[in-house]
């Protein structure tokens, strides 16, 4: 075990001891009040159980708890120890402050990891081709890859409600782009990074980034990341040198995606066909959609292949299957 892991383990033991003492104080108060006998009996049983737990932990970690002033829990429970309540209040204030700091650090770490994940995808060869080459997403193999990547994601995560808002948002983006008010409209989907980092950890076997990584693969299979400089400022920092970030309010990075400009409407429908209808999902679509005029090419990726004139021809049997879908 590394030095850092050892400190984390010790911190967990101390925090659990303090929480246990807090639970004992609550049980003791129930015992002292004029509660019904049944309530008092239950409180006494809880108090006795917590005492045994604390004594077992203290036997293995006597020096650690003694150094923190948590070895002798009776001073926090006895009425004739007025300093006990004051000391416990101070401890809980410190604990709450540490937990807030820990929560912020975890959020910042997830944001930084997400930004790195997105950047890695954006800088990959396939992503470069997708953004700059007419060959990408006009070819069958690339469209089939986008369809299969999306279909695999749906199969893996649809059973977890945490993914439903993302799936509904993806469906809304494609549906709105297929039904624009004007032919030049470009739809952009904006959502917070927590949609990818906090939503779902199903079937990941301890891999906390698996969901974000799988969702990112879906996004980059047929969408283009509209990178905002503010995202990099908010998430790309050094934890050792940027300690002041923990004392500031954390701003959720907003991620923005648009349909790749070379994908045709017919190929978009192929992707839409493997997404669940939002009517069958248990959460509303996440984020918001913005509509831009595609003629303002300085702001958006104007679509170049709406009708599919650049598309590689599909086999007749595939066309018939898509018509049935």
User: Looking at residue 318, what is its pLDDT?
Assistant: 54
Determine the Cα–Cα distance for residues 309 and 325; give it in Å rounded to an integer: 22
Sequence-distant (≥ 6) Cβ neighbours of residue 226 within 8 angstroms: 188, 256, 257, 258, 301
User: Looking at residue 273, what is its pLDDT?
Assistant: 96
Mean pLDDT, residues 287-301 = 76
Instruction: Dig out the tokens for 79 from the structure.
Output: 């009425």
Instruction: Dig out the tokens for 320 from the structure.
Output: 């018939």
Which CA distances in Å does 33 have to 24, 64, 186? Answer: 14, 34, 66
**Is the Cβ–Cβ distance between 308 and 267 less than 8 Å?**
yes
What is the pLDDT of the chain when averaged over all its residues?
80
User: Looking at residue 240, what is its pLDDT?
Assistant: 47
pLDDT per residue as tens digits for the range 59-93? 999 898 888 888 888 888 876 666 777 888 888 88
pTM above 0.85, yes or no: no
Residue located via tokens 């989907």: 189
List the domain boundaries for the chain.
3-80, 125-324
User: Looking at residue 317, what is its pLDDT?
Assistant: 53
Question: With pLDDT > 90 as the criterion, what percentage of the chain qualifies?
Answer: 30
Torsion of Cα atoms, 266 then 272 then 273 then 279, to 10°: -140
pLDDT above 50 for 233: no
pLDDT per residue as tens digits for the range 99-123? 777 767 767 777 777 888 888 877 7
Q: Cα-flanking dihedrals φ and ψ of residue 300, to 5°? A: -135, 170
Top-confidence range, 69-83, 192-206, 308-322 = 69-83
Mean pLDDT, residues 209-231 = 85
């Amino acid at each position: 075990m590394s030095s850092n892991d050892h400190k984390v383990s010790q911190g967990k033991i101390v925090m659990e001891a303090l929480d246990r003492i807090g639970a004992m104080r609550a049980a003791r108060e129930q015992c002292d009040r004029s509660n019904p006998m049944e309530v008092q009996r239950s409180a006494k049983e809880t108090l006795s159980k917590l005492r045994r737990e604390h004594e077992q932990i203290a036997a293995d970690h006597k020096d650690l708890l003694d150094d923190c002033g948590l070895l002798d829990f009776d001073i926090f429970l006895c009425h004739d120890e007025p300093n006990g309540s004051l000391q416990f209040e101070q401890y809980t204030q410190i604990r709450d402050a540490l937990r807030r700091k820990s929560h912020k650090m975890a959020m910042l770490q997830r944001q930084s990891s997400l930004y790195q994940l997105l950047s890695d995808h954006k800088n990959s060869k396939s992503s470069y081709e997708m953004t700059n080459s007419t060959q990408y997403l006009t070819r069958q193999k690339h469209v089939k890859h986008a369809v299969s990547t999306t279909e695999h994601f749906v199969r893996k995560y649809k059973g977890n409600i945490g993914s439903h808002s993302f799936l509904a948002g993806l469906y809304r983006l494609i549906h709105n782009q297929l039904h624009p008010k004007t032919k030049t409209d470009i739809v952009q989907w904006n959502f917070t990074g927590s949609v990818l980092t906090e939503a779902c950890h199903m079937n990941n076997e301890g891999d906390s980034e698996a969901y974000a990584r799988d969702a990112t693969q879906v996004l980059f299979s047929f969408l283009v990341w509209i990178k905002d400089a503010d995202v990099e400022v908010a998430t790309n920092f050094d934890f050792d040198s940027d300690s002041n970030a923990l004392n500031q309010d954390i701003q959720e990075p907003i991620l923005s995606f648009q349909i790749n400009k070379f994908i045709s409407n017919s190929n978009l429908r192929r992707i839409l066909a493997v997404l669940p209808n939002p009517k069958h999902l248990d959460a509303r679509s996440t984020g918001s959609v913005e509509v831009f005029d595609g003629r303002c090419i300085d702001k958006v990726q104007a679509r170049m292949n709406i009708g599919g004139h650049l598309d590689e021809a599909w086999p007749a049997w595939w066309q018939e299957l898509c018509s049935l879908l």
